[in-house]
Amino acid sequence: MPKPELTERQQSGAEGIRDALDIALEKNASVFLIGEGVADPKGIFGTTTGLIDKYGSQRVVETPIAENGFTGVAIGAAMMGQRPVVIHQRVEFALLAMEQIVNNAAKTHYVSDGAHSLPMVVRLVVGRGWGQGPLHSQSLETLFGYVPGLKVLMPATAEDCKGMLLSAIEDNNPVIFLEHRWVHYVQGRVPTGYHLSPIDGPKRLWRGEKVTVVSSSYMTLEAIQAARALSEQGCEIDLFDLRVLRPLKLDDVIESVRRTGRLLVVDTGWKILGPGAEIVAQVVERCFEALQAPPQRLGLPDHPTPSSKSLAAAFYVRAEDIAIAAGVLAELSRGAIERAASKLSAERQSHPIDVPHPSFQGPF
């Protein structure tokens, strides 16, 4: 009796990322990892643990603190046919390599008229929680999403952590892979083996008719909680996990807004000039006549992340904020909105600030 090839496993986002790297390193000799801490026992939040023992220091390359330099090394290697995965433990460390990424990586294929491709992945981690503060918690997808020639991915599920990273490594373009630190903890059932999640576009995670909600990265996990709470009040939202910021493909979102007439976008980073700005602009351009209310956006307030817990509590967008904004757009009764928000707020009170909520451990 032949054994079925594909099975599933319950695992975290971080485990999925490690699986993807392990599978890619084994499958293709031109794949290598490079970055600060890739060989460290802490294994970059469990995502590279043990890989240096398995594949050696020529394929898991520990670097000095020289982000601009080793990104350039990776770009040169990619132009010569290697498939590097550059890893930064915080998004902010890539800022020292922005010229390499924006000028050299993003434009190589265009400038060479297709003679050189640049199959490089850059893994970036968005920090959050106690001790991160303003310099280790920024969600900078907008900076990378702005640049033609890059692809920008933001997984929110355990399956996408593995499947989208494998697809990114297969992709012949420079791909920015933005992992929210708290998405490393999300649980889900993930197919084992060489499982690709396509780099296509938004994925519907909840079906409804009352309001279209587009969220990305960790905010998708908060949005799912809001969807549940609103559903209990009889309000079903049409929730999309954005997944791919660039290339941005909003056909399914447009189709949804044509039905619901209402749009809420929830960004992980600052509201001003975040992905929501582009999404709202495209929706207004493409289906203005379908809108029954002005589109709304949620995102971080216009100042850096505070360090103190007393300030951090009010800084982040939470499931209850999403439920309130979506409920108001959907013209849900005030009582129903309050009940949904109160329930979400009560679930959060029992939990310390600044650590991921244990309920964000699917499966969804």
Catalytic residue among 36, 67, 141, 170: 67
Helix 251-260, helix 275-287: angle, nearest 10: 60
Near another protein by CB under 8 A, which window of 26-34, 107-115, 204-212, 281-289?
107-115
Q: Least distance in Å: CB of 135 to another protein? A: 32
Burial (CB count <10 Å: 0-12, 13-18, 19+), residue 22: middle
Select 148 or 352, whichever has its Cβ closest to another protein.
148
Q: Least distance in Å: CB of 197 to another protein? A: 19
Query: Is 67 tagged catalytic?
Result: yes
Q: What is the dihedral of CA 203, 208, 209, 215, to 10 degrees?
A: -40
Near another protein by CB under 8 A, which window of 143-151, 212-220, 287-295, 313-321?
143-151
151 binds another protein (CB under 8 A): yes
Catalytic residue among 15, 88, 109, 136: 136
Q: Least distance in Å: CB of 114 to another protein? A: 4
Binders of another protein in range 42-81 (CB under 8 A): none
Near another protein by CB under 8 A, which window of 91-99, 112-120, 190-198, 283-291?
112-120
Query: Is 116 tagged catalytic?
Result: no
According to CB under 8 A, which one of 4, 64, 114, 352 is a site residue for another protein?
Answer: 114
Q: How many residues bind another protein (CB under 8 A)?
A: 13
Q: Least distance in Å: CB of 144 to another protein? A: 15
Residues near 116 by Cβ (< 8 Å), separated by ≥ 6?
79, 108, 109
Q: Least distance in Å: CB of 313 to another protein? A: 42
User: What value, to the nearest 5°, has the Cα angle with vertex 85 and ends 80 and 91?
Assistant: 130
Question: Cα separation of 179 and 88, whole Å?
Answer: 10
Near another protein by CB under 8 A, which window of 15-23, 114-122, 160-168, 324-332?
114-122
Q: Least distance in Å: CB of 8 to another protein? A: 32
According to CB under 8 A, which one of 2, 148, 335, 352 is a site residue for another protein?
Answer: 148
Question: Cα separation of 214 and 202, whole Å?
Answer: 8
260 binds another protein (CB under 8 A): no
Query: What are the residue numbers of the active site?
Result: 67, 136
In the complex, the residues that contact another protein under the rule CB under 8 A are 109-110, 113-114, 117-119, 148-149, 151, 172-173, 247
